[in-house]
Structure 1
Amino acid sequence: MTYSPIGKLQRVPLREVWKHEAYDFTQWLQHNIDVLNDSLDLNLITADREQAAGSFSIDLVAEDEDGITYVIENQLEKSDHDHLGKLITYLTARSARAAIWIVSEPRPEHVAAMAWLNESLNADFYLVKVEAVRIGDSPAAPLLTLIVGPSVEAKETGRAKQELSERHEIRKRWWTALVSHPDAKLHAHITPGFGSWLGASSGIPGFGYWYSVTMKSCTAELYIDLGTGDSEQNKQIFDRIKESQASIDASISLPVSWERLDGRKACRIRLNLPGGYRSPEEEWPNIQFQLITAMNELEQALRPVLKSLSVSQ
């Protein structure tokens, strides 16, 4: 069988094709914007050179058929911080919806930065690698490869991260306010964190007093876990405490939820309250006052029972 000859793809130094970045490459791209469209699946229809952005000049400002503005920054060398800064500056100066950065060699840290920008900002960022290639004695041809681009998944990931960050920040404010309350003596020494739980030891190993908070509710509880790996021992301790249920319930102003949690290792005795960290912040003081009061009532009601257990153990 006879095969047709197949040429070998050769890379050509960029400066042999475009000697000057602004005068050669940028002008070439302005008149061959379809090459960029094919590589990025865009539909840019105009491209203007040296557009003003304050005291700077943007390499290219393009628009697609929907009138969306793209700023394009060209760099026929390794990516650097200076050009990344320019790209963001141009994007904001022109109120553009998208930014395209074309480089000969994208550094890993800039690949990560562009991916982060796609997740974090309401704009689209493209990082494109430019090469020149030829087969045999053919004229050099451009090869544009998308390294980083926007995607639905990236935007969803960015929104999820932002929501998580906001949730962490607001929960830390919630806990900071709670432990600062003068009646929150059990947890006054605890450093507020970002989580949904805040706990302190009862002074007896295996028994902890924990607060929890969600968007719309909060709890105060005794958490029972002796840490022996034997869930049955936790259940036995819970049952012994429950023998005093009548007196404990009578000394607490809220309904008490006795949760043996069969099938799980630990047990708990919990008080549930309405209102959480997504409640209006002006309502937090009242919600937290009720929560702290509930915790103090729970601790006082359980203190003699836990003391007797500690002595008997």
Structure 2
Amino acid sequence: MVMSTFGKLEKVDLRSGWLNEAGDFTPWLAQEENLSLLGDSINLQLELEAEEKNVGPFRADILCKDIATNEWVLVENQLEKTDHTHLGQLLTYAAGLDAATIIWVAASFTDEHRAALDWLNQITDDKFKFFGLEIELWKINDSLPAPKFNIISMPNDWLKSVTKAKTVVSSELTSTQSFYVEFWSGLFSQMKHHCKILKPTKPLPQNWMNISIGRSYARLTAAVSLKEGWIGVTLCLTGDISRQLYSMLEDQKDQIEQEYGHSLWWLGTPKKVESYISFRLNNVGLQDRERWASYFLWYVENLELFYKVLGKRVLNVDVKNFPNDNA
């Protein structure tokens, strides 16, 4: 059957979706699903670090981490046409935070500001990247408005380099790395369909896969060992406050393990900025692909339980009250 009637695509005024830039748009953009939408438009996986981050006398809108590289990403946004004030603030924030990637989101870009971003991408080295994105709202007839990001400026050959990197990685994988990609792709698909809260990162040729819980200093990890024949889940705590978070959880060890239903492996690292809490399933047959489905279900069940028992405890902590370990 051929459809003869179509809806009318209409552009919606941004202010009908967000009345206020700081009070409405920034909190909306900082939500995980919307930050993911922004990241997808420029092939980055973003994880929120802070909103309204103080940098000297100014406050940056959103500070993130690039999950793939663990580098800083700063997002400056406005619901109007770009102006010199925001450009100056953006550069000030970048210098103050040593940000590697700068994303400027606006309703529209002047030719001068687009040229400024293009110039910055030309004169800076590869560790700094500048993106300009226009935000739009569209609807079909009486539908809810949908946001759309359009790339106005980006690093030279950015999309080409991303595609080339993916091609090179794919063509140079060893048999073990190919196994990891295939295995994690299966878990990725399982989580996409059956996990409402947890969001896995894209499958990579390594023996672990990260799962964001919305904090740069804490993440869940699914891991596998071909040599030792186990699969496992881990809460990883990183950064300056990792030891304090670990100590807080360790003080509740008996209650946590009772809620989880198993004894866990606790690894605090006093001289390092990473600590781990893990659980493993041993003696698994990883070469038997017919058993993978049951392993994926095990991962989903235990990752969700880790989030419930450990992740929520971390999320409920006000880390602003923690002293800095490096102080």
* Greater Cα radius of gyration, structure 1 or 2: 1
TM-score (norm 2): 0.46
TM-score (norm 1): 0.48
